[in-house]
Amino acid sequence: MADFTVKRIEEMENIWEGLMVRARASLGVTSFGMQVLNLPPGFEQYPEHDEEESGQEEVYVAMKGSGRLVIGGEDHKLEPGVFARVASGTSRRVFPGNDGLQLLVIGGVPGKGFEPGSWTELGAELPTHGES
């Protein structure tokens, strides 16, 4: 028996007035983290972070629009067709371009099973500062 889920982004649960889409939970994914960010032009609240505590490695994929990914102080352009992997312990911060940025973020801890943050589950309370 086939086991699958197919959904459009618009059908997935979003939080923070659409800034983040709970893509992983909306699709029923359990083996890795995955969210979609919808960052409007001029959005500067995406925090600089390094995932050192969680050990998580992340991949960033621009789906629509453009922006910049600052990795360890080095600037990299984000646009459709660009993939970026950032290891745990390396600082990163995202800045959307003039047309905004829709960004797929995929993460997991190398060599370990995936453990989703409780706030990433469908219908869950929003996270407090510092929760991953």
Nearest to 51 by CA among 84, 85, 92, 106: 92
> What domains, with CATH codes, occur in the chain?
37-113 (2.60.120.10)
Nearest to 105 by CA among 40, 10, 20: 20
Query: Is residue 129 predicted with pLDDT exceeding 60?
Result: no
Give the pLDDT score at 130.
Answer: 53
Task: Go through 60-87 and write b for each residue having 16 or more CB atoms within 10 A of its CB, e for each that does not.
Answer: bbbeebbbebebeeeeeebeeeeebebb
Among the ranges 39-53, 79-93, 107-121, which has the highest mean pLDDT value? 79-93
- pLDDT of res. 36: 97
Cα 76 from Cα 71, distance rounded (Å): 7
pLDDT tens for 18-70 read 999 999 999 999 999 999 999 999 999 888 888 877 889 999 999 999 999 99
From CA 111, how far away is CA 23, in angstroms rounded? Answer: 23
Least confident interval from 31-35, 36-40, 105-109, 125-129: 125-129
